[in-house]
Amino acid sequence: MAQIETPTSLKRVLATSLVLISLTTFTALIMGTGLSGINKDIKLLNSFLAEAENIQPNFEQSLLMYTDKTKDIIKYLLELRPDSEKELVRFISDIEEVAQDLSLQIDLESIAKSSAFADEEEEKDAIGYNISLYGNIQNLEDFLSQLEALEYFIGIEEISYKNTKYLVDEELEKENLKIRIKLYIKEN
């Protein structure tokens, strides 16, 4: 029996068709997997968007709650700042009462506003005070805790402490504690 030879043009058509079918199949598989990944991403994004519908109102509500509390805090902090001579005198007398309650003798000295915080431009709204007293570390801690309990906006700038066991007899009579504070006041 004789074999039938297929013409070369038919072979070319079959080879080209086989290559095109292979490429199409390969492309369809790649695109199918890519589309299934995209489909999963779309489902995830839709579920995220469904959950995110509540985010905007919650964010706005949280922002309102935050700003309301911030306004209250700012109002409270402004109330802690004296703005009259009468309130400044009351501050000084409150510090003296704290010292008296703790049986401490203090020397309270106001620092001139211009030289108190000369290197800090933003400190125009503060008055500096130097407080000198004699005592041990426990006296210092008690005094500072009482000072912090006062209803004023006070910043403690510097604390200087000399231990009494290292002082000579003539120095024992003097102050060994020095505290520099600033009292924030309302700007006029």
Q: At what angle do helices 55-79 and 8-52 cross, to 10 degrees?
A: 40
CB crowding 80-92: b at 16 or more within 10 Å, else e: ebbeeeeeeeebe
pLDDT of residue 114: 45
Q: What is the pLDDT of residues 23-68, one digit of tens each?
A: 999 888 888 888 888 888 889 988 888 877 767 667 777 777 778 7
Cβ atoms < 10 Å from Cβ of 104 = 19
E strand segments, the chain: 106-111, 126-133, 154-161, 177-184
> Taking a C-beta distance cutoff of 8 angstroms, is the pair 161, 136 a contact?
no
pLDDT of residue 88: 86
Pick the CATH number of 85-184 from 3.40.1190.20, 3.40.1110.10, 3.30.70.60, 1.10.600.10: 3.30.70.60
Q: What is the pLDDT of residues 101-159, one digit of tens each?
A: 998 888 888 886 544 444 555 557 888 999 988 888 888 899 999 999 988 888 899 99
Query: Where residue 21 falls among pLDDT bands split at 50, 70, 90?
Result: very high
pLDDT of residue 56: 66
Cβ atoms < 10 Å from Cβ of 160 = 12
Domains of the chain, by residue range, sit at 85-184
> Taking a C-beta distance cutoff of 8 angstroms, is the pair 144, 92 a contact?
no
Q: For the chain, give the percent of residues with pLDDT over 90.
A: 16
pLDDT of residue 1: 53
